[in-house]
Amino acid sequence: MSHRLPPVRLLPRDLEQLERRARALAAGEAEAGDGEQGLARLVLFRIGGHPCALDASPVTRAVARLGGATQVPMSDGGERTVTFVEEQPLPVVDLSGAAAGEERTAAALADGPALVLQTEAGPVAVAVEGPLDLREERLSGAVAEGQESGLPGLRLAGRLGDGTSVLDAAWLQAWAGRVIRS
């Protein structure tokens, strides 16, 4: 004996808004409505114990644990930390270590999270401190140049209402690309 459910009927309340969102999505624009509300999709993490966030648009993947991070020898005699994410080898840069002025070992990075960013040099795993979280929120204020952030050397785009520092995504992509090219 089979049971068929009647078809669901949707009764839109604001047909004009739905059509505007559909046109924006069809045109390949960002999620329609986000700009109207001023919400940003953010990935939250920590750097040196400070709460931080990053616009999620350049993040291709968030990895809770960089298992398998290891040092590989380079042709110039140095070593580079690499890991595999979804069976793709990626160079790893340590944002937390850079902010603290001391790079962490591959073993220390293997237990922590990373954000995979697309850079001009290709995808890079940027090691941060956890826990990772996702949130949609408005920036509550911009950060003036030279304003104390508690995060030396890191460029901020603003702050959230709770004081979380929002990193400048374009700066982070450029930084990660420079580090792996050097």
For 140-155, the pLDDT digits (tens) are 766 655 444 567 788 9
pLDDT, tens digit, 9 for 90 and up, residues 53-110: 999 999 999 999 988 889 998 888 888 899 999 889 999 999 999 998 888 999 999 9
For residue 35, the model assigns a pLDDT of 47
For residue 142, the model assigns a pLDDT of 64
Containing structural domain, residue 121: 40-181
Mean pLDDT, residues 18-41: 62
Task: Please check whether residue 118 lies inside any domain of the structure.
Answer: yes
For residue 79, the model assigns a pLDDT of 87
Mean pLDDT, rounded, of the chain: 82
Task: Please check whether residue 157 lies inside any domain of the structure.
Answer: yes
Residues 67 and 171: their CA atoms lie apart, in Å, by 26
Task: Please check whether residue 30 lies inside any domain of the structure.
Answer: no
Quick one: three-class SS letters along the chain?
Answer: CCCCCCCCCCCCCCHHHHHHHHHHHHCCCCCCCHHHHCCEEEEEEEECCEEEEEECCCEEEEECCCCCCEEEECCCCCEEEEEEECCEEEEEEEHHHHHHCCCCCHHHHHCCCEEEEEECCEEEEEECEEEEEEEEECCCECCCCCCCCCCCCCCEEEECCCCCEEECHHHHHHHHHHHHHC
Task: Please check whether residue 122 lies inside any domain of the structure.
Answer: yes
- Percentage of residues of the chain with pLDDT beyond 90: 44
Task: Please check whether residue 170 lies inside any domain of the structure.
Answer: yes
Task: Please check whether residue 31 lies inside any domain of the structure.
Answer: no
Cβ within 8 Å of residue 4, ≥6 positions away:
none
Domain count, the chain: 1
Residues 35 and 22: their CA atoms lie apart, in Å, by 14
Residue 1 has pLDDT above 60, yes or no: no
Task: Please check whether residue 10 lies inside any domain of the structure.
Answer: no
Please indicate whether residue 5 or residue 131 has the higher confidence score (pLDDT). 131
